[in-house]
Chains A and B, each alone.
Chain A
Amino acid sequence: MAEQKPVRIAVDIGGTFTDLQIQDARTGQVHALKTPSTPQDPSIGLITGVEEAAARFGFAPTEIGRLLHGSTIATNAVLERKLPKGALITTRGFEDVLEIGRHMRKDVYALKAEPRSVLIPRQLRFGVAERITADGAVETPLDEDAVGELAIRLVELGVEAVAIMFLHGYRNPVHEERAREILLTAAPDLSVSTSFEVSPEIREFERCSTTVLNALLQPVISGYLTQVRARLAAAGVSAPLYLVQSNGGVVSPEDAARLPAKLLLSGPAGGAMAMDALAKQHGRLNLVGIDMGGTSSDVSVVTDGAIGETTESEIDGLPVRLPMIDIRTIGAGGGSLASVQQGALRVGPESAGAEPGPACYGRGGKRPTVTDGNVVLGRVDPEAFLGGEMVLQVESSREAFDVNICKNLNLSDAAAAEGVVAVANTHMAGAVRLSLFEKGADPADFSLVPFGGAAGLHACALAEELAVSEIIFPSNASTLSARGILDADLRWDFSKSAMTVATPDTLASLSTKMAELVADAARKLEQEQIPETDQQIEISADLRYRGQAYEITTPWLEISAADAHADSAALKALCDRFHELHQTRFSHNAPDDLVEVVALRAVATGKLEKHGARAAERAVPAPESTEREVCIAGKWRTVPTISREEALAAGAPMTGPLLVCEEYTVLLIAPGWQLSPLGHGDLLARRIGETA
């Protein structure tokens, strides 16, 4: 979709910084900007960023055509439990499903169970008489009087949000919808979510969990969006606002407020989307991205040019069953704490978090972290950390190592620091390897893409651990997430539970469901006034062999919006594709076994115009120093430091060791690696002796 006004802004609000990417169609340039986040009211940081950008890059707020907004507001509301009082209405006899969950524990030898997250307490979970069977038939009609009485009681109890989940409600929503109608008639101010509308898929616990999250987030997100829109209007910005979802697409504030569960895991989505763009830009089909943050790191994977998606994820132990970008989060980051236990060095899973943070922050942290390790090793310029926002206290890092590690293990500062970094690297490498292994992929076929503030220092070591021979250092690594958002399209997901065997006998019912699904998707695109040329509808089916417990989402390429009719040839093509995917992912298949269709899916996309933008050229800042003393492999050596611009301008490949200093991040090119420009402002490091 073309926009009338020249400026598009992507904003990614993180815990510490609010990152902006600004694209101006008049110059074709993309600018980056960082401003401190304002956690109490994130919209303040957002407006500050927009105003700063307008002043610095020369545009008026009225010239902004679209504002794409990524945030962790939904995520944080859940993590910090800043949620309204909610209730659950469900089939009588199944009020405890939300609490019972799936039984499996993570800490195998615990005598005290890890606390389980249950967002709605038992006294606010209400069963009503009703029953729909697995085939969608009504066995017991809904007790409407009971729902009416409940509505009054909920208001008396001060409940703001209600989730409705009836067994097999994914199959037949009649009771869920009627119950909502009764509630809203009696209590129009309640926020009500039904499982059919949020996540119409089989498996009651996961669907219930997702619906409850949605219900509790509705008031939170509505409130926030009202605030943002008021602030934007006051600042003279009339551009439409779009919110980033966990699936990598954006939606209107109205959709976001209705289905806020779709925002829950959108934090890392921007980075993954940027990876997708990088893959296309550089013609590299296989990328593995690692975004290293303070307390955790996110791993995302592009295989054969496509970013991985999943429908099974969780937040804080609460399942979220919605399509989203597949990201593996590991509990290792710059803030991971090192310690000595029974004579052994351990790193993590405990983290110093943002407060007090690493010892070098000087905020009272006394135990050494991975970041402290990098400081002690001279790999971080203490004067230039986070763009000079914070001066790091090298002595505090050293002392933390002395007291906690060196004495116990009889090691020097540098040896202990290098050890902690090495151990953190094995944690991350292990997670990357598992992420690839579960997709049936080999790390050797991948290029590593480090981004976020800290990954540039660890990339070469990680690549060596993984036997990866090539690293792409993207431009704007510290605001890459915002860069990914800038290229987002509008996206809506639709699904329908099917639970039927894929045989010609069931084709008629599958075909009907498919037609309904495509119609839903087409209707949405029309409502949103997406021009026909920018519309796209993609169909897929979740398939498995009969009796299996896990499905593979299989693209159904034979079905299109124009021709939504499924015939037996199309069904066979779908099943064949499933057998193939099963072989790749699970190393075997069974073409003679019955295939079961668990769900049908449609993705409706409204494409936003891409400008083929290039990064704005920046003046090469005069490097403050041209070399640093850095410890690598137990030796202190003088390592040249250059700016990214110098690296990009270099005529011949530059050989490590080398530090590339950027405003918010540092890249360590280790000995044995060679750095050269890749185009589009990106850099490529290759192991010496390896060719493309």
Chain B
Amino acid sequence: MRSLSNIFWLGTKELRSLFGDVVLIGLVIYSFTVAVISQAQSNSQELYHASIAVVDEDSSELSRRIIGAFLLPYFQPPVHITQAQIEPVMNSGRFTFVLDIPPNFERDVLAGHRPALQVNVDATAMVQAGLGSGYILQIIDTEIDWFLARAQTTPLSPVNLVTRIAFNPNVTTSWFESVMGIISSVTMLAIILAGAALVREREHGTMEHLLVMPLSPFEIAMSKIWANGLVIAAAVVIALYLVVQLVLGVPIAGSIPLFMVGVVLYLFFGTAVGLFLGTIARSMPQLGLLYILVAVPMNMLSGGATPVEAQPQWLSTIMKASPSTHFVSVAQAILYRGAGFDVVWQHFIAIAGIGALFLTLTIWRFRAAVTATGA
């Protein structure tokens, strides 16, 4: 009871301190608006405005139809170039795709000679190159089929594949990136706000003051966890409703309250890590440098940027132990796939467990760390 009261009163002070820090509040607002929106509108997950050039040596109706089939928003209007320009424009990276339609292409197609058509792809433009070459194959195939279909009927394949995409039928980047943006902001802020709260008290000497009073490190740590967690959790709710749903127009399939349970657990973990880093760093800049080394891998490898399946085995094994990976899974399951508690409870336990581990480490290091600077 005594302890709860201490945690509560220390936390109220924490809230007042946080709202007094213009830089940190600015960071919170930035992270849940500009950062989320710019990430959502990056189109990095889909084929969007890919640059394509064509060398049309045929100048036939078929070649024109093929060229005319590359449409926005997938492709920018194709630009005509000459054979000699292929090498330079690809070297400079001006075009990701260059289509080379050979002379007499239409005639050879009609004659059934299966003429060759070459698509040059800049394989260093990673996402676009992979997705775009698939689209291009399909577009050309379809156009040729349509062209031939006027002359004769082409038979339907004996076996046909119908693919449908669940949860995000038009594979829109913003559906995915908006929520991933929120997650990376949560990771960033949880670590920074809690870490900064600890370092700030150390720099101002108030932490020593607290430790001389009848307060335990657990109470001091918990007060920072709940106060900073509360601010971030509130910001997440606002961002989900205002930024994600209203501004970006992303539909949310699952239960936001259940997702918030996950957020709260993850905040417990994130703030505990922040406090732990705060016990290691001796100054704000050191905290910032440590943050970069810890949070960047946690964010980039959690499955929020590129698929976890694409990592080497050893790395994905390590990352499966990271709560950020669990949290990304939880968010995707709940918000996109509408999953319920039965699906995510194991992730919840993992996140809370690792959070508790960091809290223990923090408390263990607390006293030594706080006084070490005063020398």
| A and B held together in a complex | no
